[in-house]
Amino acid sequence: MDDIINRKVAAIKYKHGADAVPKLVAKGQGHIADRIIAIARENGIPIHEDRNMVEILSTIDLYEQIPPKLYRAVAEVLTFIYRMTGKI
């Protein structure tokens, strides 16, 4: 039960050429986190697990742009996802 309560997720959105910078579009913990993950899977959205990143991103308000101090970390996640999906 503790695993369910302690599970956290944060989702970012970034479309090259359309978005200036990535934005936080969803976050939650427990059952909300499970629902966010389920929706991502249903829609073919890649999932990258990084507890440290989630902790940092969960401090940002929804729809807020990712702050410049996190650009490098977020860029690494996006690069991983682009490689995983064959977009680079």
For residues 18, 15, 10, 39, the Cα torsion angle rounded to the nearest 10 degrees is: 110
The mean pLDDT of 67-71, rounded to a whole number, is 89
Please check the confidence at residue 3 and state whether its pLDDT lies above 60.
Answer: no
CATH superfamily of 2-85: secretion proteins EscU (3.40.1690.10)
In degrees and rounded to multiples of 5, residue 26 shows phi and psi of -160, 145
- Locate the domains of the chain by residue range: 2-85
Residue 83: name the closest of 75, 21, 71, 68 by CA.
75
Element (H, E) at 76: helix 71-85
pLDDT at residue 12, rounded to an integer? 92
pLDDT digits (tens, 9 = 90+) for 5-43: 578 999 999 888 898 889 999 999 999 999 999 999 999
